[in-house]
Amino acid sequence: MSITSKINTTIKLTFLAAGLFTANLIYAAENTIKIGVLHSLSGSMAISESTLKDTLLMLVEEQNKKGGVLGKQIEAVVVDPASNWSLFAEKSRDLLAKDKVSAVFGCWTSVSRKSVLPIFEELNGILFYPVQYEGEESSKNIFYTGAAPNQQAIPAVDYLQKEFNIERWVLVGTDYVYPRTTNKILETYLKDHYGVKDSDIMINYTPFSHSDWQSIIADIKKFGLAGKKTAVISTINGDANVPFYKELSNQGISADQLPVIAFSVGEEELSGIDTAPLVGHLASWNYFQSIDNDLNSEFINNWHAFTKSDKRVTNDPMEATYIGFNMWVKAVEKAGTDDPTAVQNALIGVTVPNLTGSYAVMMPNHHITKPIMIGEIQDDGQFEVVYKSAGTIVGDEWSDYLPGSKSMIADWRTPLACGKYDVSKKVCLKD
């Protein structure tokens, strides 16, 4: 064979190999369905969000072993918005526009969710949001699998009032939209339903990653031990919880003296703390690892196997992620496609088991049904459930306790298809 022939043959083989490689890439792309994982793996929120990334990877692995969805394997595209709210927006655009994911599972803080919301609406993406939040929102592109205030905050106040006859209230939180809006709802509720006076409500906000709690805890202690039974409601988020609880211990504040009930502290946040001095303090959630049933035991065992550690705990946002992922799978199968518009419509009415022994239903307002639980911290970092609602409660997207929201509902079914419908004026309003 001449040198020229050899060169030509080599060129042909090179192009053939390149063509086969490209064809394999196209085949792989056509036979996978991509989902985005949008959780902070670094920065102040990594303590809470990293676990949800791992949860999704476990769920994808399990579903792929079952055959994936629509006969295709699921591919998780993981990004790190690094607790940076503008980076959340940038990463979400990349996931939708460049990676062409069918749905995104992510965000923790409300500021991160609000940062990405316009992008999901612009590009018609789907976001499953797995964390409790302040309400006052309903988007056709977001499916809220965490608790609304009527599924966490309001029941927490009612429980404390009934069990401890609380007269004074401390509302302490991280300085952003979720704590401020939730506390606005709670302040109104306390005044209107229990006749609490302004002088009996103390409110304090601190930045993300706040670490110096000595003077704040001292002020709370002074306010709370002034002769009236007092409780603390905490909407502190992220890694600031660790020094907060350590300072409670340092200043000898027991649950008998001044009970703290948290909305953003679960098993994961407590795993790095000596919880012996915190026994008796509370958290309000919709799931606890200590729930004893076969499905939850299976979930915990799978989690330990996936992480290769029996010490890894589960928590409420993990269950909300589990619910959202299974709802997405079921809706894709119901629609027969992963097209976002079709899946958005198919999601309404989808029902899947939760991990607490009942079922989660996606309602027309894009919120789900959830039970309500109050857990008491134990010395092993787990929670003993001291209260559980008789049934599940529908998430209320617009608060019944804020004057501007009382007459609002959301219903994304045709023909209404509105996230903020004023039932008194019979008009769909824009935020």
pLDDT for residue 286 is more than 50: yes
Beta bridge pairs of residue 376? 282, 384
Beta bridge pairs of residue 262? 234, 283
Which residues are CB-contacts of 14 (< 8 A; sequence separation ≥ 6)?
Answer: none
pLDDT digits (tens, 9 = 90+) for 45-87: 999 999 999 999 999 999 999 999 999 999 999 999 999 999 9
The separation between CA 421 and the C-alpha centre of its own chain, rounded to angstroms, equals: 25
Q: Residue 90: count other Cβ atoms within 10 Å of its Cβ.
A: 15
Which residues are CB-contacts of 325 (< 8 A; sequence separation ≥ 6)?
Answer: 56, 59, 60, 63, 105, 128
The residues spanned by each domain of the chain are 13-17+24-148+295-369, 150-287+373-393
Which residues are CB-contacts of 225 (< 8 A; sequence separation ≥ 6)?
Answer: 257, 258
- Tell me whether residue 252 is exposed, middle or buried, using C-beta atoms within 10 angstroms of its C-beta: 0 to 12, 13 to 18, 19 or more: exposed
- Element (H or E) spanning 184, and its range? helix 177-194
Q: How many Å apart are CA 245 and CA 228, to the nearest integer?
A: 22
The separation between CA 194 and the C-alpha centre of its own chain, rounded to angstroms, equals: 30
Cα–Cα separations (whole angstroms), residue 92 to 79, 202, 356: 9, 37, 31
Name the nearest CA neighbour of 137 among 392, 362, 430. 430
% of the chain residues with pLDDT over 90: 89
150-287+373-393, CATH topology level: Rossmann fold (3.40.50)
Q: Which two tokens stand for residue 362?
A: 């996606």
- The pLDDT, as a whole number, for residue 23 is 40
pLDDT digits (tens, 9 = 90+) for 367-414: 999 999 999 999 999 999 999 999 999 999 999 999 899 999 999 999
Q: Residue 188: count other Cβ atoms within 10 Å of its Cβ.
A: 14
Rounded to a whole number, what is the distance in angstroms from the first to the last CA of the chain? 75
Q: Are 204 and 171 in contact (CB under 8 A)?
A: yes
Task: Note the pTM of the prediction, 2 decimals.
Answer: 0.90
Q: Are 140 and 117 in contact (CB under 8 A)?
A: no
Q: What is the SS3 assignment for 127?
A: strand
Report how many helices (DSSP H) and strands (DSSP E) the chain contains, helices first: 12, 19
pLDDT digits (tens, 9 = 90+) for 122-144: 999 999 999 999 999 999 999 99
- The pLDDT, as a whole number, for residue 10 is 52
The separation between CA 224 and the C-alpha centre of its own chain, rounded to angstroms, equals: 31
Q: Residue type for 99, please?
A: D
Peptide bond into 149 cis (omega under 30): no
- Element (H or E) spanning 346, and its range? helix 340-347
- Could you say which of 3.40.50.2300, 2.60.40.10, 3.30.465.10, 3.40.50.300 is the CATH number of the domain covering 13-17+24-148+295-369? 3.40.50.2300
Q: Which two tokens stand for residue 24?
A: 């394999």
Q: Using 50, 70 and 90 to split pLDDT, how confident is the model at 272?
A: confident
| Number of residues assigned to the chain | 431
- Examine domains 13-17+24-148+295-369 and 150-287+373-393 and report if their fold is the same: yes
